[in-house]
Copies of this chain bind each other. A is one copy, B any other.
């Protein structure tokens, strides 16, 4: 495809996306067709000869788009959002077009330096501790996801806990990872990947009211383990748990980590973005204790997946843990010690220039625009929670400091699960569920920049009328 063919086809694809976004609100949020529908619609093998882009776009319209779950739909309220935005898409398009692979500073100098600067910008915007900045001992890097950030933090923590022996001798299975019972599944996955096994994860009890980690339980777990010859390596505290957005108390947890010399990683994958707003920055009190921290601009900061922002307080230690240096990667810039080679800050070797999409987002919206987006989400969630509270068939089951509301039918788990199934089957919205203290709850997470108060009111109306039908259908 030559540049002029690309230009013409590129306009057509841009048009396709603009039209998709303009009409997204009229589509069903998800498909109700059974598994195998798309497979059956596709040829059994690749074409022998090339086809025009128009043919692919036609199949995109007919075969693919109707069979997606539309995460950018204004009535998509599932999981945590994976927001994107026009400027993010455009920044990523530039990255794809440049096709620069930034594993080393030398393989894409501007990409590396832009990433370092942008992570410092974000640190300033969120008022993160000084030591996370590249101008201090630390620095930031873009990971694909908070899962990978947790994995990397665990690896460096094991390196530190072992006094450096881990790199060569391997992991000592007496090491432990601590997280609340509400910590993300990626913490267990990291324990498994790093060779500690699920047994290497010590789940710490939460306060039943807040669903946040109980510091007293953490202290007791560490003390018990030490008495048994077990070595506490890392505590993963969560700011905004996936289930209910509970915020673990960092000041108390951090003090315990400092006392026992345990690595503190703070997983703020979803809720970290809220810290762009000073009035929501209380969640970061105590962050000065953290050795590493991450949040996902791809969740609530208008930047398309994948973009997790991860910081460490001691960059040298991170590089020491992860670096492997074959001859074919040696170069003068790396050996000068004057540059960052981000390959040593992550699991894979290669990397895209994901900084470009973040740059386009920060420039287009500005700090003020990002704050407005976060505040809009919080306000819409409040609006929804108010409606839930005003209907005595429903209850809100957890605090909702951000843009997620967890709620259920007072009638119980079966009715609540049935309500979710019925509203999702309409295709008019998409919610997901969780369990809070063992009881079934629906989750409504606001995030799309297209979501307005009308969408929130519509989904509430749908829930309320569906509940009426459902409760009338039930015996007794």
- Cβ of B145 and Cβ of A171 under 8 Å apart? no
Task: Identify the closest chain B residue to A143 (Cβ).
Answer: B348
- Given A16-B97, A99-B304: 12 more A-B contacts, CB < 8 Å: A13-B94, A20-B98, A37-B109, A45-B125, A56-B87, A70-B100, A93-B96, A169-B173, A170-B199, A193-B347, A243-B326, A347-B347
- Cβ of B173 and Cβ of A51 under 8 Å apart? no
Measured as residues with beta carbon below 8 angstroms from the partner, the interface class of chain A is 35 or more
- Cβ of B14 and Cβ of A10 under 8 Å apart? yes
Once the chains are docked, how many angstroms separate the CA of A449 from the CA of B150? Answer: 38
Is A396 in the interface zone, CB < 8 Å from B? no
Once the chains are docked, how many angstroms separate the CA of A22 from the CA of B171? Answer: 51
Among A179-203, those with CB < 8 Å from B are 184-186, 188-189, 192-200
**Copy total for this chain:** 2
Task: Identify the closest chain B residue to A188 (Cβ).
Answer: B324
Contact of A99 among B51, B84, B90, B199 (CB under 8 A): B84
The 8 A CB mask of A146-163 against B (1 = contact, 0 = none) is 011001000100100000
Once the chains are docked, how many angstroms separate the CA of A347 from the CA of B190? Answer: 8
- Cβ of B148 and Cβ of A366 under 8 Å apart? no
Give the Cβ gap from A236 to chain B, nearest Cβ, in Å.
Answer: 14
Once the chains are docked, how many angstroms separate the CA of A391 from the CA of B3? Answer: 37
Is A284 in the interface zone, CB < 8 Å from B? no
Is A429 in the interface zone, CB < 8 Å from B? no
Contact of A21 among B97, B365, B435 (CB under 8 A): B97
A10-B14, A197-B168, A328-B79 are known contacts. Are A96 and B88 too (CB-CB below 8 A)?
A: yes
Specify which of A96, A188, A332 lies most central, judged by the most chain B CB atoms within 10 Å of its CB.
A96
Is A271 in the interface zone, CB < 8 Å from B? no
A59-67, A206-214, A462-470 - interface stretch: A59-67
Contact of A64 among B50, B63, B110 (CB under 8 A): B110
Is A460 in the interface zone, CB < 8 Å from B? no
- Cβ of A110 and Cβ of B10 under 8 Å apart? no
Contact of A39 among B87, B116, B167, B189 (CB under 8 A): B116
- Cβ of B96 and Cβ of A304 under 8 Å apart? yes
A53-B90, A328-B433 are known contacts. Are A68 and B110 too (CB-CB below 8 A)?
A: yes
- Cβ of A19 and Cβ of B3 under 8 Å apart? yes
Is A369 in the interface zone, CB < 8 Å from B? yes
